Amino acid sequence: MYDEKTKEDRSLEDIKQDILREIDFIRKRKEDFMSKGLFNAWNYEKKYSAETYIERGYIDVKDNVVFLNHREAMRCFGYEGGHYQRAIWTIKGTGKKVWFPKLYENTPWNNELSDDFKRIIMRNKINPILKDPKEGEKWIVFAHYKNLLGQVVYKFLGEFHLSVEESNSQKWVLNRKKSKVFFDRI
């Protein structure tokens, strides 16, 4: 086999040894992670289940939290109902909302997510005049998008607060204030 770096042919035995070294490296790294309690085995059912996060007591952006439907995301905040497919749900007794925006142009909204994932700008294309923004609006955001497998999923982006100073009748601006949300501190 030809090696592009050295511009030389390599024997199958050399290639086999490289592969075995990589496998050994991966095994040792896994053992190291396991000994430190940092290894999380892949589990499809747990990946998309609210139970994983409810048991832990929080969700964190760095954990790439993703759900297959609104209901699972809302269960983290006490929802006990059935199927739910609205863009916003208010968490009882808190005034905070769980929001499932499409962060791309669609009908009727044109929502934009900043490159650093810390700001959302919300505009309505059909009715360009938005109601006056209210001080203290807080939204826990699960963005609607298609993953690499083509599934529609809802990815946790954090808790965003509406900025009255930056918002107006044409657009609302929401800034991320928390990337980690504890369920008992809502």
pTM: 0.79
- pLDDT of amino acid 1: 58
pLDDT tens, position by position, 44-71: 778 899 999 999 999 999 999 999 999 9
Select from 85, 99, 73, 87 the least CA-distant residue to 159.
Answer: 99
Whether residues 68 and 97 fall in one domain: yes
In a domain, 55, yes or no: yes
Whether residues 25 and 89 fall in one domain: no
In a domain, 31, yes or no: yes
Check: CB of residue 170 under 8 Å from CB of residue 128: yes
Whether residues 110 and 48 fall in one domain: yes
pLDDT tens, position by position, 87-117: 999 999 998 999 999 998 888 899 999 999 9
- pLDDT of amino acid 7: 66
Check: CB of residue 108 under 8 Å from CB of residue 87: no
In a domain, 116, yes or no: yes
Structural domain span for residue 113: 44-179
Q: How many domains does the chain have?
A: 2
* H or E element, residue 32: helix 12-35
Backbone φ and ψ for 158, nearest 5 degrees, come out as: 125, -175
Whether residues 8 and 96 fall in one domain: no
pLDDT at 3 over 70: no
Whether residues 18 and 63 fall in one domain: no
Cα separation values, 116 from 55, 112, 113, 186, Å: 29, 12, 8, 25
pLDDT tens, position by position, 126-176: 887 888 778 889 999 999 999 888 999 999 999 999 999 999 989 999 999
- pLDDT of amino acid 35: 93
In a domain, 64, yes or no: yes
Select from 89, 73, 77 the least CA-distant residue to 152.
Answer: 73
In a domain, 184, yes or no: no
